Amino acid sequence: MTTDYHPLVKRLLDGELTLADLPSELRAEGAEALRTIGAADRAPVTFSPALDARVMTVVRRHARSPARRMWAWLNAPREVELRLRVRPWAACAGALAVAAGVVLLLTRVTVPSPSPSPSVPGRGIESQARSGMRDSVLVRFVLYAPGARRVAVAGTFNQWDSHAAPLIRAGTEGVWTTTLALPVGQHHYAFVVDGARWVPDPAATAVDDGFGRRNSVVAVTAQGGRTL
User: Residues interacting with other proteins, by CB under 8 A?
Assistant: 3-5, 7, 9-10, 13-14, 32-33, 35-37, 39-48, 51-52, 54-56, 58-60, 62-63, 68, 72, 75-77
Q: Are 131 and 140 in contact (CB under 8 A)?
A: no
Q: How far is the CB of 2 from other proteins (least distance, A)?
A: 9
Q: How far is the CB of 21 from other proteins (least distance, A)?
A: 17
Q: In terms of CB distance, is 45 or 84 closer to other proteins?
A: 45
Q: In terms of CB distance, is 48 or 107 closer to other proteins?
A: 48
CA–CA separation, 202 and 216 (whole Å)? 8
Q: Are 193 and 187 in contact (CB under 8 A)?
A: no
Q: How far is the CB of 9 from other proteins (least distance, A)?
A: 8
Q: In terms of CB distance, is 39 or 133 closer to other proteins?
A: 39
Q: In terms of CB distance, is 2 or 159 closer to other proteins?
A: 2
What Rg do the C-alpha atoms of the chain give, in angstroms?
A: 39
Strand, coil or helix: 98: helix
Alpha-carbon torsion (67, 68, 69, 71), positive or negative: positive
Q: How far is the CB of 20 from other proteins (least distance, A)?
A: 20
Alpha-carbon torsion (183, 186, 192, 196), positive or negative: negative
